[in-house]
Every structure is written in C-alpha cells, then in structure tokens.
Amino acid sequence: QQIVNLLNSFLGLLYQEYRDKSTRQEIETRRLQDSQADPEENSAGEETPNESEAASTPESKAAPQISSLRNSTSRFNLWQDLPEIRSSGVLSILQPDEIKLQEAMFELVTSEASYYKSLNLLVSHFMENERLKKILHQSEAHILFSNVLDVMAVSERFLLDLEQRVEENIVISDVCDIVHQHTVNHFSVYITYVSNQTYQERAYKQLLQDKPAFREVISQLELDPKCKGLSFSSFLILPFQRITRLKLLVQNILKKVEEKSERESTALDAHKELETVVKACNEGVRKMSRTEQMISIQKKLEFKIKSVPIISHSRWLLKQGELQQMNGPKTSRTLRTKKLFREIYLFLFNDLLVICRQIPGDKYQVFDSASRGLLRVEELEDQGQSLANVFILRLLENADDREVSYMLKASSQSEMKRWMISLAPNRRTKFVSFTSRLVDCPQIQCVHPYMAQEPDELSLELADVLNVLDKTDDGWIFGERLHDQERGWFPSSMGEEILNPKIRAQNLKECFRVHKSDDSQRRKLGSRNRQ
C-alpha cells in the first residue's frame, strides 16, 4: 500500500538526515539562548529564577530563535509553513503556546514519514536486491534484516493513522492517543528487531570479511544517489534510533500541553508505554553480550578461597581493571618506591566484588570477595604525590566473614573516582543528582556523539542534556541524562556547558513534569543505574 501524500512530498528527507539536522538545530538553539544570557547569571551556584520566570523566558524566546536559525540548508518543514495553514488565517487566532504544540505534534508525524521512507529504502534497495539475495544464505539474510518487514508494516499502519488525524482538521487535535494505541498493540516488533542487534552487527562484520562479493555489492548500493551518501549500517540501526526518538518527541509534546488536561493525560500514557518498550529494547541488546561476558570471566577465574558461582541471570559486569594495592600497615606514610604497591585485579559486578591477582595464562586467582552492598570507600586527600589517587576500600564482610580494608592506588584521578563511584554507588557525588530535585546544578548538552567503551561509561546522542554529578581534572564527567536518568562517565570534550540558569531550570522543570506520574519508578530507575 503506497503512502503518497502531502507529508512525504513536503518532507523529502531520509530519516538519518532529518534526525541529524533536528538534533543539531536543538544545539544551535541552546547556544543562541546561552549567548543571550546575562554573564552574571552564568554560575550554577547563584540564585536561580523563580518557577514562573524559568517557565516563561526560554519559551517566549523559542519562536524567534528557531526562525533566525532557519536557512536554505537547515530549514525544516513546519506546520505553520503548510499552504493550507497559511491561507486559513488560523495562525492569527491561535495562542503562541498552541502553535508550539501544533509544531511538536506535526514533527512527530513528519518524522514518522521520513522514517518510513528510509525503512522502505532499506527493504527495496538493499534487502530485495537480486544480486544480494544470490550472495546471502537464507539464514544470513534473516540475521541481517531480522523482522524489518514487520517493523515497516507497523510504521506504515502507524503513519496512516497519524495522517488521517492530520487530515481531519487543519488544527491537530492530538497524536499521543494514537501513539499510545500503537505502542501497546504493535510496537513489540521493535523489541524483536533491536534484541537481534548484537547478532546483526556480528553477522555484518563477518560477511564483509568473508565474502568479497557481498562487500562489493553493498559498496555499490551505498553509492546510489537514493542513499544520499549514507551507509548500509545507518539503515540497519534505524528502528532502535526511531523508538528512542519517538519517546523524546512525546516528551516534547508533553512539555507543551496544558497541565491537567486530557492531552496531558494521553501524552503521559503514551510516554509510559514507550518507556517500557525502550527499556525492553535496551535489555534485549544487553542480555546476549552480558551472558557471553560472564561465561568468559568464569573461565578465567581460579579460587584460592571458597568458590563463588559467577554466572547468574541477574548478574552483570559493572567494571574491571587493575589497581595497585599498598603493602604494609595503612598508617605508613614512608612510601618511597613502587615496591610498596602490588598489582591486583578487580571484577565488580552489580551485586558482587571479586579481588584477584593475575597469574600466567590469562587467568586470575581470587583471594577475596564481598557483596557490593557491603563495600565502603574513602578518599585520601592532601597526602603528597606518593599517595595521589589513593583511596581506602573497606569490605564490611569479606569471604572470611570479617571486615578488611585495602589501600588502593589508581593510575589517574578519573580512574580513582570511577572506581569509587562504581564500588559505592550511594556515595555522595560532587554535585547533587536530578533525583534530589535540586533547583539548579551544572548541566551540559552533548555536541559530539559518544560510544561507551567501558561498562561504567554512558553512550551519548547529539543534543542529550545531562546533569553533571561529578567531574575530574583530567577531562571526565559523571553525568545523569535527564530524559531517562541513565548515569555514566564520558569525556568532557563531548559536551558544552549550559550557561543560562533559566534554561537549566526549565530543563529540570520539564523533566519533573514528564516523570511526575511515575516518581516511584523513577527513583527505582535512578537507584538501579547508579554504578
């Protein structure tokens, strides 16, 4: 069934292009807002504006700022640009807040049209290519493309319902009720697709390596003008990107609807269901890699103490690495050579710490362990260069059922802080977190995407906004993303500080509103994700 209507012709962007331009425009808008802030207000420690000021100032400035950012290369198709809207005279009747809401709902619809266009290209241009079909075994094609046909069918049905709603009246009544209905009844196909992602990535790399013919055909297909210079892998990852983005688009609508209105209720319902799907997608991706990792670690461990079963469905690795253990009494301050330190290796799981020494054959001999809940850490300050980056790790009850302390030295300040926060997640950080409902604290916006390299790191997407919980002198930040409260470390060069205190206050206010109907779940989430 063809979807040919005003939306498709009006948009004309592949989803990857839309998504990149949209997030970059968010960044430019925030930069403009920051540049207009009073320099004296740009301190997180100073008094912040009251709630009404925080709510009104950024909002009232948003329209002219966005208009000034539009140009021939970055212009977006706005609801108010539609010929039908311009000629109807409705723009002179509607309140500015309602126009912003119309734009937010219209963006959800147009972005779904863009997404469907890209999905269609993935299927028609790549999946159904005759040369590719001959090269790929049926099982290889299944792993590579998974249930993308189901995903595309769901997107088509969803888009048709959205378009029908837009056609009912030039002023859109609501879209979140449609989002809610489709999320509950149809969006489980996303969980299936995204859960296959690890297999998909592995199969794609293997095919590129083992089948020159596959590599050649993919390269030729990517060069087709239809693809607009985008890679095959950027099409494969579309469903995961879309389901995450859809949640953010609903959040954007929720920020603009009238409080305690029916539209707020439907937006909250839609957001809650989307959050459930996104979490299931994330868990699906993690499940396979975690299981493989636990099996690999189990094979490397040899127990000098009573053996602890490592593999468990509810256990995963948070951090591993080498530290230096100080030999001798804790009170000693006459450290002159590195011989006073001995290398140890830690495996920290979400519920267990295992302390080892590395032995020949890529093996680790376990000499102590403790429940993660029975760990305490303490930083040593102003103890001179020899004790730089040293902290005390206390096991309240170790493998021998007694309390012991280890004096440990990390290779850098950031590594020390990362270990301390991972080992004792409830320890107070330098800045207070989102969950404390602090009126103002440092915030940054991601301006460069980042892929986590370690379990305690956080992958970032362009335009993500995060509260800064801690930072180090050697260029790392421990942050909490506002839209999902996920926490982790990332290089400070990936983000820009949000200087305008009114924007920071508005970000927090909007975030509290999005999650207000689910406070207990938010607290549970925040606790679970403290690493």
pLDDT digit string, tens, across residues 394-414? 999 999 999 999 999 999 999
Question: Amino acid identity of 428?
Answer: R
Element (H, E) at 273: helix 262-300
pLDDT for 176: 97
pLDDT tens across 355-397, in order?
999 999 999 999 999 999 999 999 887 666 667 889 999 999 9
Instruction: Provide the percentage of residues in the chain whose pLDDT is more than 70.
Output: 81
pLDDT for 65: 29
3-state secondary structure (DSSP) of residue 473: coil
pLDDT tens across 487-502, in order?
999 999 999 999 999 8
Please give the average per-residue pLDDT across 435-460, as a whole number: 84
Q: Between these two residues, 19 and 237, which has the higher pLDDT value? A: 237
Please give the average per-residue pLDDT across 221-234, as a whole number: 96
pLDDT for 68: 25
Query: Is 253:101 a contact under the CB 8 Å cutoff?
Result: yes
Question: Amino acid identity of 235?
Answer: F
pLDDT for 520: 42
Query: Is 271:257 a contact under the CB 8 Å cutoff?
Result: no
pLDDT tens across 2-59, in order?
333 455 554 568 888 888 888 888 899 889 888 876 655 544 443 333 333 333 333 3
Query: Is 478:429 a contact under the CB 8 Å cutoff?
Result: yes
Q: Which of 67-81, 128-142, 204-218 has the lowest mean pLDDT?
A: 67-81
DSSP state of 329: -
pLDDT for 11: 56
**In terms of residues, how long is the chain?**
531
Nearest to 482 by CA among 461, 510, 501: 510
pLDDT for 63: 31
pLDDT tens across 461-515, in order?
999 999 999 999 999 999 999 988 899 999 999 999 999 998 998 898 888 888 7
Gap between the terminal Cα atoms of the chain: 48
Residue 506 CA: distances (Å) to CA of 261, 491, 498: 20, 25, 12
